[in-house]
Structure 1
Amino acid sequence: MRNVIQVVREALLTNFRELDSWFEKDHVLLHFKPERDQWNIREVLEHISLTNYFLLLIINKSTRRALDRKRNGQTVILPADYESKFSQIDVISSKSFGWVRPEHMEPTGLKNMQEIKALLKQQYAQCMYNLSLLKNGEGLLVFTNMSVNHLGKLDIYQYIYFLTKHIERHINQMKRLEEEFEESAVMI
């Protein structure tokens, strides 16, 4: 179990550290749009913060429920196919499937970069805090359905891991935008 928690913790650290580096990029790059209907990097960062907000509502509620169940004597049991669910979640970081995001996760452009950066730092801290509360396997006591890519029921560790893979998906999107920006600069 400690190995699972460590994998999730490392994914959080790696992806949030990478996100942080995007705030140091050039203003022109952050606002570059190859096409009118495409998000720029600033909008992608805002979208990540919005998605994290809604995922953390579920993660926080589930964490409280898991701790209550542990206090009430519920036993933690590791399912036999536990590792395979993480492999299914790994697909989230790729561009190999599509999903329709809810409207409330669309960037509005109303938050400035400092607000987005502060939100992301707060969200990272909240994820790490939840993991620290669930250090003895309590995260296995609550499952929540995840409709994205038909993942089905995820425990809290898997839900947090999903959050990291969603971030990774958009880090890859920002890297592609940066490449397009550099290519457009070469053409000029």
Structure 2
Amino acid sequence: MMRNVIQVVREALLTNFGELDQWFAKEPEVLDFKPDQDQWSIREVLEHITMTNYFLLLIVNKATRRALDRKRNGHTVIISGDYQDKFNQIDVIGSKSFGWVRPEHMEPTGMKDMSEIKALLKQQYAQCMYNLSLLKNGEGVLVYTNMSVNHLGKLDIYQYIYFLTKHIERHIRQMQRLEKEYEESAIMI
């Protein structure tokens, strides 16, 4: 069971960070396009993702250390019968089907260079994969952290990393919409 969970999380990381990588090949006009002044550009969305990942990874890193300590201290990994249900609840995060008020410290400045954003994403991907490798025997279920977004409640470390991937997925969809709007506005000109 845990091997499957870890594999699902690993694949979600591979897929979503892989998709993010493709945005760095886009033309600057596409990356900087804003349909409205109060909307983010693709460049700003990418920066926001790095900011959110940063804060989520602070929690993941701390929780990983605690989980490994608990495992060393003899805690047993026990999986509840409804364990998979939480992943289904997290899947909703990838869509746009609920309201989301983001904290101000997650607002992009628009000042970050694309190469800096790309380097941050690479490092964050590596950090996620490293945490997963440390938790390869189910230790990730030994620590739960509360997630207020969409009333998810307590998430273990695998679920927390999975949440991070769904947050990325949500913004990939946003960037796809922005690119489409850019193409439609270019046709009109």
1:47 is aligned to 48
Q: What residue identity is the alignment partner of 1:139?
A: G
Q: How far does residue 98 in structure 1 lie from its aligned partner after superposition?
A: 1.1
Q: How far does residue 15 in structure 1 lie from its aligned partner after superposition?
A: 0.2
Structure 2 CA distance, aligned partners of 1:168 and 1:121?
A: 16
Q: How many residues align?
A: 188
2:138 is aligned to 137
1:5 is aligned to 6
The ranges of structure 1 where at least 4 consecutive aligned residues each deviate by more than 6 angstroms after the TM superposition are: none
Task: Please list, as runs of the form range in 1=range in 2, the aligned pairs for 1:1-188 lying within 5 A after superposition.
Answer: 1-188=2-189
Q: Which is further off, 109-118 or 12-21?
A: 109-118
Alpha-carbon RMSD across the aligned residues, in angstroms, is 0.4
5+ residue gaps, structure 1, are none
- Residues 41-94 of structure 1, C-alpha deviations (whole Å, 9 max, x = no match): 000000000000000000000000000000000000001100010000000000
Structure 1 CA distance, aligned partners of 2:166 and 2:159?
A: 10
> What TM-score do you get using the length of structure 2 for normalisation?
0.99
Q: How far does residue 110 in structure 1 lie from its aligned partner after superposition?
A: 2.3
Aligned partner of residue 125 in structure 2, secondary structure:
helix
5+ residue gaps, structure 2, are none
Q: How far does residue 99 in structure 1 lie from its aligned partner after superposition?
A: 1.2
State the identity as a percent.
82
Aligned partner of residue 158 in structure 1, secondary structure:
helix
> What TM-score do you get using the length of structure 1 for normalisation?
0.99
